[in-house]
């Protein structure tokens, strides 16, 4: 996630800080699990000098660079999740988008999402024969004007079956109702009212995670 909650690279799930650790070992470590989170404690030999702890570091790489008769070279790669001084188990803030239907019921659009709005007006250009320039009638003169809201979301499930079923259920809940989109990040949020779903489509992700786009439309005025 970026500093404002936008999705940067969820497949790799790499944060700003990356830590590489290489060491020689008499045996292959079997207790470390790739993808799990660990607290890294840095201390000098003998306990003298600077020490530090980095909490909630995800193990993203586990490589055996060489295998000799007496020892094995192990290289571990961690990515820091959250702020550099976050406590153990802390989560990175995520931007979320929910759809609250008119009459009740709220649907969360994926694990996290962000919004891209565009405006479509009704300005018309009129060419007057032999005249220089053109006459333009604005949306205010002719009426109309709409906001198109594209919600780009991301979701992860444990099996492909769950993922497909989730998207089918999500899309079917949005197509028959008007509602409000609420965009939240941490303690901040804003609302886009009276939105109608025009369509939705997956973005073509990997087996267990998927990006998707849901298009909403509302009157600009």
Q: How confident is the model at residue 82 (pLDDT cuts 50, 70, 90)?
A: low
- CB neighbours of residue 63 within 10 Å: 11
Asked: is 95-219 a CATH 2.30.42 domain? The reply is no
Q: What is the pLDDT of residue 78?
A: 85
Q: What is the pLDDT of residue 5?
A: 52
Q: What is the pLDDT of residue 10?
A: 46
Q: Which two tokens stand for residue 67?
A: 């295998």
By three-state DSSP, how is residue 122 classified?
A: coil
Distance CA 57, CA 72 (A): 23
Spell out the domain ranges in the chain: 1-92, 95-219
Question: Taking residues 49-70, what's their average pLDDT?
Answer: 74
pLDDT tens digits, 123-182: 999 999 988 899 999 988 899 899 999 999 988 888 888 989 999 999 988 888 899 999
pLDDT tens digits, 108-121: 999 889 999 999 99
Model confidence at 83: pLDDT above 70: no
Distance CA 142, CA 171 (A): 34
Q: What is the pLDDT of residue 157?
A: 85
Main-chain phi, psi angles of 110, to 5 degrees: 80, -175
pTM, rounded to two decimals: 0.60
| 107-to-37, 62, 157, 195, 198 alpha-carbon distances in Å | 30, 38, 17, 13, 16
Distance CA 114, CA 153 (A): 7
């Amino acid at each position: 996630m970026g500093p404002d909650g936008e999705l940067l690279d969820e497949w790799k799930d790499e944060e700003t800080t990356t830590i590489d650790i290489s060491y020689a070992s008499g045996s292959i470590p079997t207790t470390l699990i790739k993808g799990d989170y660990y607290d890294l404690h840095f201390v000098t030999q003998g306990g003298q000098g600077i020490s530090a702890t980095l909490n909630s570091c995800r193990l993203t790489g586990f490589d055996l660079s060489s295998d000799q008769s007496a020892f094995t070279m192990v290289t571990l790669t961690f990515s820091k999740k959250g702020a550099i001084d976050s406590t153990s188990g802390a989560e990175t803030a995520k931007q979320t988008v929910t759809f609250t239907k008119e009459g009740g019921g709220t649907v969360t659009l994926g694990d996290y999402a962000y919004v891209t709005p565009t405006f479509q007006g009704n300005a018309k250009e009129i060419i007057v024969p032999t005249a220089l320039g053109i006459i333009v009638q604005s949306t205010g003169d002719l009426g109309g004007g709409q906001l198109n809201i594209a919600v780009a979301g991301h979701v992860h499930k444990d099996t492909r079956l769950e993922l497909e079923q989730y998207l089918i259920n999500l899309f079917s809940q949005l197509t028959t109702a008007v509602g409000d989109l609420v965009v939240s990040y941490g303690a901040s949020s804003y609302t886009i009212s009276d939105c109608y779903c025009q369509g939705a489509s997956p973005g073509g992700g990997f087996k267990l995670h998927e990006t998707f786009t849901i298009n909403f439309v509302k009157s600009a005025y």
